[in-house]
Structure 1
Amino acid sequence: MNNTWTEMTGSLPFLLEGAKLTIILSLVSIFGSLLFGLVIALFRMSKSKILSGIAKLYISFFRGTPLLIQLLIFYNGFTFIVRLEGWQAALIGLILHFSAYIAESYRGAIQSISKGQWEASYSLGMNYVQTLKEIILPQAWRVAIPSIWNSLIDIVKSSSLASAITVPELTLVADQRSASSLIVLPILLEAALIYWALTTLLDWTRYWLERKLQLKK
């Protein structure tokens, strides 16, 4: 028992160091996915059949194939062109994968806004970009928060798959520490609790944001 506790406390600094990389990887992926997902959503709703078709194919591919396979493709599949570091492949994979889900959340939210609001803004002399920025997106964002936030939480959890391409984030560190100490369950539970704390923090952020947006109505 004492040996287990010693290994757990001794492993904690290493797990927290791995968690720092998990947080950085997650935050950059979240920011990238939110931006690129909006671009894909607008392409998907475009009147251009080419842009709409490209977006539809993109969404179908990245939602229809496993994230782990996508990470392995970016890490190992393009070595004849460029050799990506593990963290680079992980960022690209996470952003492209979750942008497909977030794009559909954006699209559903934007389409839920009455067409009359588009027409009214055009009658006031506003162009497409102004209407989207000033009228549509603020309303759509409120509608999209629950589904988008599920994707953001999934990004944090799915960042653990970066361990498969040698990224020394929380999961890989926990696996290495448990393997070297032969004390598996306690150390893996420590890692699980850190992930739980991160996703809980995201949940609290969502509740705060929803309340703030409700007050602004």
Structure 2
Amino acid sequence: MRALDFDYMLGLVPVILGYVPLTLFMAVAAMVCALALASLMAVERVIKVPGLDWLVILFISFFRGTPLLVQLFLFYYGLPQVFSFLAQINGVTAAIMGLTLHFSAYMAEAIRAAIIGVDRSQWEASQSIGMTQGQMMRRIVLPQAARIAAPTLVNYFIDMIKGTSLAFTLGVTEMMGAAQKEAAGSFLYFEAFLVVALIYWFMVEVLSQGQKILETRLNKAYAR
């Protein structure tokens, strides 16, 4: 059993950290897009627009029922063969698209549950003063649902950050891709992947602590 090459690991840390901004960019961009799409689908699942509901159900079923890696390959390698204009999409864009669609399916269900969790008296009070469904959702229901769903959505963002590691399969040199290249040149695979694992771990722990603080503040704001 050989000893770990700590000098190599220490030298690799700044190299991997240099790709953290790209990893965070993909995760944040996908989170913003997924949150917007998931909110629309969640509202639709609650109010059930005729003719549209079955499409949303099919979308959620497909993206929850297939692996993220398969979806990424489908977007990057498969769809350009069917739609030639998609051949111009690069790996980063394909990764953001895949993460957006994959996690929006999960987030839609979480937001829908949060919307349903809002006290029915709030709905009835809104209707009694003449609010339309759109006004009720925008001004009363969704702000309260956001508090309920926030901890779960942060968990999905954490999963999204970890999911960006699959972008290297599309030729994107992010943290995992950089570790793969460094390991291929040095043959110190264990050290390289251990470094990237520790960096991911650190990022997730920071976000987890932020999630706890957010949850405490939200609960305190609504404490009676």
TM-score by length of structure 2 reads: 0.90
Structure 1 range deviating more: 95-104 or 181-190? 181-190
Taking the aligned partners of 1:46 and 1:127, their CA distance within structure 2 comes to: 12
Report the AA paired with residue 92 of structure 1: M
Look up the match of 1:66: 67
Deviation, structure 1 residue 108: 0.7
Deviation, structure 1 residue 2: 9.7
Of all paired residues, the percent bearing the same amino acid is: 38
Taking the aligned partners of 2:221 and 2:136, their CA distance within structure 1 comes to: 19
Look up the match of 2:149: 144
Deviation, structure 1 residue 94: 0.3
Give the match's secondary structure for 2:29: helix
Give the match's secondary structure for 2:48: coil
Q: Gaps (5+ residues) in structure 1?
A: none
Taking the aligned partners of 2:14 and 2:169, their CA distance within structure 1 comes to: 22
1:80-119 matches, cutoff 5 A: 80=81, 81=84, 82-83=86-87, 84-119=89-124
Deviation, structure 1 residue 138: 2.2
Taking the aligned partners of 2:48 and 2:6, their CA distance within structure 1 comes to: 62
The verdict on how the C-alpha distance between 1:62 and 1:2 changes in structure 2, with shifts beyond 3 A counting, is closer
Q: Deviations over 1:48-84 (max 9, x none)?
A: 2312111100000000011101101111112232211
Look up the match of 2:47: 46
Q: Deviations over 1:178-207 (max 9, x none)?
A: 121111212211101111111112212211
Look up the match of 2:23: 22
Deviation, structure 1 residue 103: 0.2
1:1-217 matches, cutoff 5 A: 4-80=5-81, 81=84, 82-83=86-87, 84-217=89-222
Taking the aligned partners of 2:218 and 2:138, their CA distance within structure 1 comes to: 16
Alpha-carbon RMSD: 1.8
Q: Is the 8 A contact 1:19 1:194 kept in 2?
A: no
Q: Gaps (5+ residues) in structure 2?
A: none
Give the match's secondary structure for 1:50: coil
Kindly tell me the number of residue pairs found equivalent between the two proteins: 217
Poorly superposed stretches of 4+, deviation over 6 Å: none
Q: Deviations over 1:151-178 (max 9, x none)?
A: 1111011111111111111111111111
Q: Is the 8 A contact 1:44 1:53 kept in 2?
A: no
Report the AA paired with residue 77 of structure 1: G
